[in-house]
Chains A and B, each alone.
Chain A
Amino acid sequence: MEDVLVYGLLRGGIYALAAFGFSLVLGVIGIVNFAHGALVVFGGLLTQYLAVKFGVPYAAAMIGGALGTGLLGAVIQRLFVARTFTLEPLMVLVQTFGIATVVTELGTLGWGSEERMLRLKTGLPPGFMLGDTFVPSFDLVVFAVSLVSAAVLFVVLGRTEFGRAIRACRDNRESAQLSGINLGRTFEKTMFLSGTWAGLAGAMFVTLSPVAPYMHFSWTVDSFLVITIGGLGSMLGALVGGLVFGVLSFGASFYAPTIAPAITFGVLLVFLVFRPQGLLGAGPAIRK
């Protein structure tokens, strides 16, 4: 029981990190980005590539991977989504799905379809006992880094001019535009932030588990699950949702491995039907 809780929470940090960007884009631009999982995977593989191929130290590779992914996100926004997102949201779903396919296929062509992992030699002790539970210290470090980067995101959104513009667009697009905010630019920045944190999630995950291009879709779905549980439009919701989802998915695959996906999706449906605003989200928006 404690094991499930501890390991679930440790994984949950990364899920939360991946979901921040998904939630941000859904809240600010108003689209579900089906390419989000592809960004997570891209970040992981880019980090692995930088570290293995060029021998870049992990910390630098991680930052490089995250920023590279952010850039990819901004490019996707400028070249593709910006032309479509004012149309029916359905179109953007299909469009970003196509983008996910293209990114994944290009990634496969460039890096191959096999699963890759980045094993770090940290010199840390392997772990310690917390009651009856063995806590691997490296996972703990990754979890701590996740929390710190979440805090960084909170500060960026809450305290900077950049963050204020993004929040203004989220709360009321028309009045943000009237007060001189460039919507197109802000959306690109939003996608950049979203991609950066997705890439960061990938960069950390690749040190714990193998990553391969074909996994992109499950990352998208997981991000969606996280914000459905936590609540749309609140970063704190994504954090809580990530941790809850971590425990839930780890518990499901621990206690009932054969039907684990059915359990997590069942929980998703329960949330969608009975509490669509999630644990911490605001109520559903309605027209003015």
Chain B
Amino acid sequence: MATASPLPAPLLRVENLSKVFGGVTALNGVGFDVHPGEVVGLIGPNGAGKTTLFNVISGLLPPSGGTIAFCGRSIGGLRPDEICALGAVRTFQSASLLSGMTVWDNVHVASLFRPAERARVESAAACTRRALAFCGLEDCRDEIAETLSIGDQKRVEIARAMATGPKLLMTDEILAGLNAADSEGILHMLQGLKREGISIIFVEHDVRSVMRLSDRVVVIAQGRKLAEGEPDAVARMPEVISVYLGGRYAQGV
């Protein structure tokens, strides 16, 4: 669908990106685009380099080579907070709530440190309230975040990411460890974000969810881009099936 209409300029353009740790090449010439309002599913086996890709895009690790452009501007070498201020925010694979802080405070931190031009439009408290309301967390705003159920903790992470006012949200295995109902809730929220025009890079091992949510899917394995295309097309590619999907998903479709 998205590929049929004439495309606007990409929001994020990753070109020939590589990252080397000592002897390990975690990323090797990866390139792809993300357009405004688009959901790109990113899949690959364990150790493929998905988290490393997020670490590099979000500025936590310097790239070893290649370029990253966000909103037409090169962001390689910027600090994480600068990249967040430009509008690219990520979640973490491991639990990342601020311990000992309430749900409100967890989200409020992000609202407080938005760049000045966004802070002028909406007060920090209003921004926090809106994010909590969007994620259905108003009722537990005064609870200590890490005492919530795992599903609600993930909601807090999304609310916090939302509070930064992102154009691009990168979720790293946000559904991992959730039951079916919670997964469904989170997927709904992500679809809501997409409707608001926020682009998403969706890293997930649960292939069905990826296929459902994504406009386009990028497959990486051992640091290289293996395939890219519309979900159904990717799911039928033999090399993807052999590396990652196994037979099961293809049969299920």
Q: How far is the CA of A282 from the CA of B24 in the complex (A)?
A: 12
For window 260-288 of chain A, which residues contact chain B by CB distance below 8 Å? 282-283, 286-288
B92 contact set on A, CB distance < 8 A: 287
Q: Closest A-chain residue to B93, C-beta based?
A: A288
A287-B92, A288-B93, A288-B94 known; A282-B22 Cβ under 8 A:
yes
Would you give the 0/1 interface string for B56-87, flagging 1 where the beta carbon is closer than 8 Å to chain A?
Answer: 00001100000000000000000000000000
Q: How far is the CA of A176 from the CA of B93 in the complex (A)?
A: 20
Residue B55 at the A interface, CB < 8 A? yes
Q: How far is the CA of A286 from the CA of B54 in the complex (A)?
A: 13
Contact present for B61 and A288 (CB under 8 Å): no
Distance in angstroms from A177 CB to nearest chain B CB is: 16
Distance in angstroms from A221 CB to nearest chain B CB is: 29
**Is the contact region of chain B dominated by helix, strand, or loop, or is it mixed?**
loop
Contact present for A288 and B51 (CB under 8 Å): yes
Q: Closest B-chain residue to A286, C-beta based?
A: B60
For window 33-61 of chain B, which residues contact chain A by CB distance below 8 Å? 51, 55, 60-61
B61 contact set on A, CB distance < 8 A: 286
Q: How far is the CA of A283 from the CA of B26 in the complex (A)?
A: 14
A283 contact set on B, CB distance < 8 A: 21-22
For window 135-188 of chain B, which residues contact chain A by CB distance below 8 Å? none
Q: How far is the CA of A166 from the CA of B47 in the complex (A)?
A: 24
Q: How far is the CA of A286 from the CA of B55 in the complex (A)?
A: 9
Q: Closest A-chain residue to B92, C-beta based?
A: A287
Q: How far is the CA of A288 from the CA of B61 in the complex (A)?
A: 12
B93 contact set on A, CB distance < 8 A: 288
Q: How far is the CA of A287 from the CA of B22 in the complex (A)?
A: 17
Chain B interface (Cβ < 8 Å from any Cβ of A): 21-22, 51, 55, 60-61, 92-94
Listed A/B pairs (11) with beta-carbon separation below 8 Å? A282-B22, A283-B21, A283-B22, A286-B55, A286-B60, A286-B61, A287-B92, A287-B94, A288-B51, A288-B93, A288-B94
